[in-house]
Structure 1
């Protein structure tokens, strides 16, 4: 009798456990926040679909003055942080826009008051449902539960833990903290295995790079990876760790990590502790020199550091094109005419300890600074010259990628003046000195064809 009772109790508890498990599973599935077709969002009412924990959300966020954009952002911390943006180069939409998960086609469509419909994702099949995962990945699924599309495969400027940057893919910086449209810098996981940073709209060649992992020739399927412990590293196709970019494993309890290429051109690893502060902390950055990013300052200007804060300064005789933008190009503050015009006098102003893009059209070797200056003054094509260790490189404008350095390079900038030392355009004889004329296009062509050991 006792045995039958025990058996009955065992079966009873098993049934209770089974029912409770099914109920918990159903609750968990509900908390997974699967998004069904026909669901919609608006900027001012139901504006986002959260992940199960509420840490991440997908939907509208405010961009600019009164405008909105669609993306993934950290919603569970006081400092809302955008980590992925859809249609990032489209203008912000107004408050009467709608994001619709269509019933018939299973597409995510952004609808505006002007009647314009724009697809958020590009998928060939019909999506059955969507989910905002707790990893920060927004996913579309088909009827069988297979992934059709995920935001992790199309990163903008940020990597989250468990996310990778595959070979051939790039991250592009945003214009600013508040404007997530495409900025001026990129981080590329090259197909040769090298992770390299360049300015936007430049060739993938050494003269334009300003950061490299020096892992070229290591395979065509190398990936950049970020783990939940904050480790940032490169893996090859065989899952062999080629290089650790960060120094080690960091505390993970209550800590969120993200890697982002910032608007200043550097890419950094950030951490955020929920029990510590409301701000992100920089754990690691790609360089300690904040003037390294090429193009941080505009044409004919150079970058300098003042108490770890970057600034841009125009060449002597130049002024900002846009006085409200310190990073804008600089132009001459005098009218340039023919250097042989009657009454025109020019002098050269020295700018010490700066480096620039090498695009010289003529090179004087075994010369002095004085002879370099004189050669530029009487050469109508020469608008500036770079002198270093007996070599004079004559250049035309514009000057690019300028930065303050500690080397001995001297930039000699032609400016309008009344110096009596200016000649009438007669090139002096430079005894014992050799002039080598080079074509800028030829130089760049040659450099582009060389496999540089990053």
Structure 2
């Protein structure tokens, strides 16, 4: 009897411990976090933390691995919001709401009814409970770019890449668990059609409500609604390591492993593609991806430059000033540049059957709506800008024609600008010279008037500086002659104009 009671007590203790392990650390109403002091809530195994993490000039709220030297973020709340300052506070209010307060504004973090308590679980899942202990909200239901062991990606849900390793906002790529049972990767802005897919599990039609699952051994697989395994994406490894599945900013989703017995970094066990140019849209609009020594590089179309040189995804814009398509005589003001072996989204507005590539080139050149054309096997597809999802592809034997500014037109434009500059400078100098001339004339005229007035008043006929010879009347000469004799000045010294 005593042994039975002891066994019962041991089993009860074990169940309580297991329940506590599952529930995680208890976080009660009224608790709060700030970025600079108590900045996170730890899981019981001290592996995961929920709280603030520093990024650049501010802080984000999320879940990150705290138990390894390399801090790794696995979930971010409100990822597309700006980072918050160090004065921000997260409140688990007395009403059971999880609210972020910053600069006088409040934002709800968890879209749920009033919660009674919260926990950061050992699995990396942050949960809110009601008073009955039922989960009313959990971060596992709202993944960002990462899937953890025990977490599943349900039908219709997506993982969205981050913009970069230092910017957790929504990036360029997505991994979607489709309702048809297919797991597919697309560019963020592209529709769910096969044309834009760059990875697919090939399980469409294999069952309804298919989910993507990751277990503690690094086994990645798809289950249908009956719980049947319809595909193993990766084989299992061991349960001594940490695992996480992530769609990286480069658009490829990878299975990572971390050995808990070592202080090293994460290693990649599996990836959706070894081709780093496979993600469509990596180089933005009007740019295309090329592989250089197994490294992805982005190049702009001929006649284009990157919008932001340090950010390939910003795309490319024309590096010349667009002009009227045709001159008055009907001649075109553009030329065509060629690019071989590239793949682009087919957004053509017109497709022509033409025998030669020269015919396709000329057809685009003469069409003011055509900005590029793809020619392959007698098919000429006219397109407008922007061109999207470009990449170098040796399997494509097409030729791309791109309309660029004519050198002759550019030179004429340059000469016209030079002639205009010369004309402006010449007119300015002439106007300035005319103003100086007018001012000089006025000053000289006023000076002469003053000198003549002086002569009239004093009878002084000496040549004043700057005064020319003048004519005199006979009466004036008589008057002057009298004064000259009175002053013993020879009359011969007075010149008389006749």
Which TM-score bucket, shorter chain as reference? Answer: 0.7 to 0.9
Q: Distance in 2 between matches of 1:19 and 1:204?
A: 54
Q: Distance in 2 between matches of 1:218 and 1:194?
A: 8
Q: Distance in 1 between matches of 2:88 and 2:408?
A: 64
Summarize the alignment of residues 157-236 of structure 1 with structure 2, pairs less than 5 Å apart: 157-236=145-224
* Alignment-derived partner of residue 379 in structure 1: 367
Distance 1:374 1:257, change over 3 A: same
Q: Distance in 2 between matches of 1:155 and 1:38?
A: 26
Give the 3-state SS of the residue equivalent to 1:373 in structure 2: helix
Q: How many residues align?
A: 405
Question: Larger helix proportion, structure 1 or 2?
Answer: 2
Please tell me whether residue 50 in structure 1 is matched to residue 42 in structure 2: yes
Give per-residue Cα distances to partners, 1:33-62, cap 9 Å, x unaligned: 211111111111111111111110111111
* Alignment-derived partner of residue 225 in structure 2: 237
Q: Which of the numbers 391, 399, 403 marks the counterpart of 1:403?
A: 391
* Alignment-derived partner of residue 321 in structure 1: 307
Q: Which of the numbers 238, 250, 260 marks the counterpart of 1:251?
A: 238
Residue 144 of structure 1 deviates from its aligned partner by 1.4
Please tell me whether residue 139 in structure 1 is matched to residue 139 in structure 2: no
Unmatched segments (≥5 aa) in structure 1: 1-6, 421-454
* Superposition TM-score, scaled by structure 2 size: 0.77
Q: Distance in 1 between matches of 2:14 and 2:181?
A: 48
Give per-residue Cα distances to partners, 1:69-88, cap 9 Å, x unaligned: 11111110111111111111
Distance 1:413 1:21, change over 3 A: same
Give the aligned CA root-mean-square deviation in angstroms: 2.5
Distance 1:378 1:251, change over 3 A: same
Q: Distance in 2 between matches of 1:395 and 1:29?
A: 62
Give the 3-state SS of the residue equivalent to 1:152 in structure 2: helix
Higher relative contact order, chain-length normalized (CA < 8 Å, sep 6+): 1
Residue 367 of structure 1 deviates from its aligned partner by 1.5
Q: Which of the numbers 276, 279, 282 marks the counterpart of 2:268?
A: 282
Distance 1:32 1:362, change over 3 A: closer
Unmatched segments (≥5 aa) in structure 2: 410-498
* Alignment-derived partner of residue 294 in structure 2: 308
The answer as to whether partners of 1:367 and 1:392 remain within 8 angstroms in 2 is no
Give per-residue Cα distances to partners, 1:200-239, cap 9 Å, x unaligned: 1332222222221122222331111111111111111011
Distance 1:16 1:290, change over 3 A: closer
Residue 153 of structure 1 deviates from its aligned partner by 0.8
Q: Distance in 2 between matches of 1:302 and 1:152?
A: 36
Q: Which has the larger radius of gyration?
A: 2
Residue 417 of structure 1 deviates from its aligned partner by 2.6
The answer as to whether partners of 1:346 and 1:419 remain within 8 angstroms in 2 is no
Give the 3-state SS of the residue equivalent to 2:132 in structure 1: coil
